[in-house]
Structure 1
Amino acid sequence: MSTMTSTGSTGGPASAESAIPQAGRGRGLRLSGMNWLVWRQHRAAYWTLLAAAAITVAVMIHQRQQMMLYLDEYGSIDGLKLGWEEKFDQGPLRTAGQLLGYAPLLIGVFLGAPLLAGDLESGTAKLVNAQSTSRVRWLATKLGVTALVVAVSTAAASAVFTWWWSPVKSSSYVLDWSDGLAFDSSGPVPVALALLTVVGGITIGMLLRRTLLSMVVTLGFAVAVQMVWSHFRMALGDVVTVTTGNGVGDDSFPNLPDNAHVMDQSYLTASGDLIGWGSCNEATDKAATACLEKAQVVGWHIDYIPVSQMSAMQWLGSSILLALTAGIAAFVILWGRKRLV
């Protein structure tokens, strides 16, 4: 804010932007114009995010090296031998998944919400409006630079987490791929969730014009996004159905791919009807057998999604999230063009 004020006071409105490239010369990033101004104004938040991402990446690389030293004793990624799961420490992977899951929420609250709300609350937006630069360019630069920093930071962390988890991805013992700890922390999903949350926070700040209030509302928005996404993510997959007709006794359950996510598990009757698999779980084996015979149960009916669909599901879901983000960003530009100050 102080930078913007001093820039505007050295000359007239026409000279404000021309002074910015001069001030930006010799900087490490070699930015100029509005890009330099936005970076300088929010450089503390940007550098904090980039530094946090760099530290996270370094720690995950170290943890993967430790994991590979352990897996080398059991055949490494070329084919793990039985028993490798017994002493495997899944804590670091789960902790990393939790931290990456919180990242969109924290980025939205502490970077997105104050981005415009702070300028509107302090009057800096009015100063910018008095300069030769248009509101659209100012808003587009704010959104663009912030989105770039967020995308680079979250993409780096997500790529390393995916690389770390990949040798044990097929085992549900380490992480269930359908759970948020794995699904929302790998691939393109962290980037899409972070961008949606941060752009949503920017929009909330623009509308409410109060920093603290915007941060509180953005927190609620981020939690709501996570809740809706958690209920929606499995709907992105194509359900595979397998049925059997050799009864439901020992060794009759169909063989499913490793780490497959079971959507539904039912008994199949002779007439082709389905009944819940828990409907015959009586107190005694004799009663359960009688129940199965009475219902004429002949086998299993299983609906599942294999782990092989995970990548396609992540990209499809991320595309939807990014489309929503683009729509919100367009709203910010259109609204701010006439109603920002």
Structure 2
Amino acid sequence: MKGSLWLAWRQQRLLVGVGAAVLVAAAAIAAYYRSAMLDALHSGLFDHCDPGPLSCTQGDTGPLLLLDVEPLQYLGTLNLVLPVLIGVFWGAPLLGRDRELGTHRMVLAQGVSRGQWFASRFALAAAATTAVSGVLAGVFAWWWRPAADRSYGLFWYENAALSGSGPRVVAAALFGLAAGTLLGLLARRVLSAMGLALLVTGATTLLLEWAHRTRLLVPPHRYVSAGGVPKEAMGDKWSTGHYGLITASGRRDDVLNCPYPSGAELEACMARHGYVARFYEANPVGDYWAFQWTDTAVLGGLAVLLTVATVLVLRRRV
């Protein structure tokens, strides 16, 4: 096995080096910009700002106060597209290059079994992928924490934070590796496998983002306030944009039937139509972890299934 691992390292050391360089660069950039973020927060400029989502201005009529979170969003976006990059540039050539060039036959002729050939390459790639994605997710979380869920920072439900942090980043990266590896084994050419990996991992990433927006996998909570009582503040919840009114029988109607924020007009309209309460739907900040673990289960499960499929194909086609 040592010889097979040595060969796997020889073939993948450039990619491991690129991954290490990305981590060093990300950590250095994060340290620089996080330090500037903390300096801004400690300057007193934001002391009068509400800790929640309400926009904060410099004075009564001044400009909006915002931290420089654009570099942080770039890191979140990198983490979001990480499965695509790993699937295309690491997974697809992992076995596909040897298959295309026929060099796997020489390796297998040296007494290395198919299982060893696959395991040595995939284990090294999976370990490196886990390390790179895990550290990048950790760097994002460390950088994001001082500005989390503030009007002048970055909210938990924004794409860069929700899909660019937490354990789902690791699961997504492993899914990308597994998908690319299987496609590299099935396709006749590495370039074809890379194109297919781009399509599959990109489509899966977009599908999960759509599932987030539609709350397909993590349903929203419904918040109800009786009569004309002011609704519970949205705060750091992620609104679905679905507001409405409730009759005594429990029927829910659109909020536009009584389009008044509060006061006598609202109460008169509700009484006229028989409405007894108002509601809105949103996900509270605690659902961040519900989204995280749901995505992790989906992507991790797909990674396991694709890896098993790769082993089965390997036995029949190589």
Indicate the TM-score class for this superposition, using the shorter chain for normalisation: 0.7 to 0.9
**Structure 2 contact 231–279 (Cα < 8 Å) conserved:** no
Q: How many residues align?
A: 302
Q: Which of 35, 42, 50 is equivalent to 2:5?
A: 35
Q: Which of 273, 283, 289 is equivalent to 1:295?
A: 273
Match of 2:302 in 1: 324
Q: Is the counterpart of residue 261 in structure 1 residue 238 in structure 2?
A: yes
**Structure 2 contact 228–267 (Cα < 8 Å) conserved:** no
Q: Bigger shift: 168-177 or 199-208?
A: 168-177
Q: Which has the larger radius of gyration?
A: 1
Using the TM superposition, give the Cα deviation of residue 328 of structure 1 relative to its aligned residue in structure 2, in angstroms: 0.8
Match of 2:133 in 1: 154
Distance 1:179 1:332 in 2: 35
**Structure 1 contact 168–174 (Cα < 8 Å) conserved:** yes
Q: Deviations over 1:19-46 (max 9, x none)?
A: xxxxxxxxxxxxx432211010121122
Q: Residue 247 and residue 322 in structure 1: after superposition, are their counterparts in 2 closer, same or farther (change >3 A)?
A: same
Q: Is the counterpart of residue 243 in structure 1 residue 224 in structure 2?
A: yes
Q: Which of 267, 276, 287 is equivalent to 2:254?
A: 276
Distance 2:257 2:72 in 1: 37
Provide the TM-score with structure 2 as the length reference: 0.85
Using the TM superposition, give the Cα deviation of residue 107 of structure 1 relative to its aligned residue in structure 2, in angstroms: 1.5
Task: Give the aligned residue type for 1:139.
Answer: F
Match of 2:174 in 1: 195
Q: Which of 25, 29, 41 is equivalent to 1:59?
A: 29
Q: Bigger shift: 196-205 or 287-296?
A: 287-296
Unmatched 5+ stretches in structure 1 = 1-16, 18-31
Distance 1:33 1:255 in 2: 63
User: Percent same amino acid among aligned pairs?
Assistant: 29
Q: Is the counterpart of residue 144 in structure 1 residue 123 in structure 2?
A: yes
Unmatched 5+ stretches in structure 2 = 51-55, 58-63
Provide the TM-score with structure 1 as the length reference: 0.80
Using the TM superposition, give the Cα deviation of residue 187 of structure 1 relative to its aligned residue in structure 2, in angstroms: 0.8
Distance 2:103 2:48 in 1: 59
Task: Give the aligned residue type for 1:269.
Answer: T
Q: Deviations over 1:117-150 (max 9, x none)?
A: 1111111111122121100111011111101111
Match of 2:41 in 1: 71
Task: Write the mapping of 1:300-319 to structure 2, written as runs, cut at 5 A.
Answer: 300-319=278-297
Task: Give the aligned residue type for 1:207.
Answer: L
Match of 1:171 in 2: 150
Using the TM superposition, give the Cα deviation of residue 61 of structure 1 relative to its aligned residue in structure 2, in angstroms: 2.1
Task: Give the aligned residue type for 1:54.
Answer: V
Distance 1:190 1:90 in 2: 20
Distance 1:308 1:287 in 2: 35
